[in-house]
Structure 1
Amino acid sequence: MTDDIDALIANTLKDEDRALLARAGAEPGYFHQLGEAFGGPTGWVNVVLMITQTLLFIGGVWAAWRFFQATEALEALRWGLPSAVLILSSLMLKLAIWPVIHANRTIHALRRLELQLALRRQARD
C-alpha cells in the first residue's frame, strides 16, 4: 500500500518537487533504522540496554549449558530456572528497543507528510 501511495505522489509532482522529495529520502531500511535507535540524545540508553541484554543472554546460555549437563533433578532446577529467567529477561530488554524504531519511523513519515503539504502550499501560492 505504501508503494502505491508513493507512486501516486511521484506521478503528480513536478520535476522540481520530485527533486525536493528525493532529498527527503525514501523509507530507510531496517538496519538503518536500528542504527538510528543508538544515536541521538537518548541513544546511550539503548546502548546500555543492549549491553545488559547481551550479558543476560550470555548468562542464560551458560546456565542452560549447566542445566543440560545436570545429572540430578535438584541440580537441573538450580540451573534451569535461572536460565529461563535470564533468557526471557534478555528478550524483554531487546523488545524495549522496538518502540524507539517505530517512533523514528513515525517521525520520518511525518516529515515526508510535512514536506508534501509544504509543496502543495507552494503550488497554491
Structure 2
Amino acid sequence: MTTKSTDEMDKLIAAALSAQDRDILHNTEELGYFQQFGGKLGWVTWVIMLIQIALFLAGVWCAVQFFGASDLLLVVKYGISGAVLLLMSLIMKMSLWPQMQADRVIREVKRLQLLLASHQ
C-alpha cells in the first residue's frame, strides 16, 4: 500500500469530482485565522476579540505604570491590576480555540463525506 501526501490526495479528489462537488470541496478547505470568524455567530467572536484587545492594552498600560511607580501602594495596585488584565486577555483569546478546532473537524468530516460520496 502506498502512502500519498495530503496535497496529492486533494488533487486526486478534485480531479474525480464534478464542478458542483469541487465548489463544495472548496468551501471545506482550511480557512485563515480571521476568516474563521464568520458565520451566524461571527459577531460574537469579533466582540470577544475586541474585548480581548482592550483588556490587553489596559494590562500593558498598567504594566508601564507599575514599572514607573515609586510608591509601594501604587506598585501593588498597578501590578495586581496589570497581571489580572493580562490574564483575562489570555483567557478570552483561549476561549476561541475550542470553537476553531471544532470548525476544523467539521470541515474535515464534510471533506470525508464528499470523498465517500464520490466513490459510490
Partner of 2:86: 87
Q: Who is 1:57 aligned against?
A: 56
CA contact (8 A) 1:59 1:86 kept: yes
Contact 1:10 1:18 survives alignment (8 Å): no
Q: Percent identity?
A: 35
Gaps of 5+ in 2: none
Tell me, in whole angstroms, the C-alpha distance in 1 between the residues paired with 2:43 and 2:10: 37
Q: How high is the TM-score relative to the length of structure 1?
A: 0.76
For structure 1, which runs of at least 5 residues remain unmatched after alignment?
none
For the residues of structure 2 that align with 1:27 and 1:109, how far apart are their CA atoms? Answer: 8
> In the alignment, is residue 17 of structure 1 matched against residue 17 of structure 2?
yes
Match of 2:35 in 1: 35
Query: How does the TM-score come out when normalised to structure 2?
Result: 0.79
SS at 1:77 equivalent: helix
What number of residue pairs does the alignment pair up?
115
CA–CA distance in 1 between the matches of 2:45 and 2:119? 38
Instruction: Show the counterpart of 1:76.
Output: 75
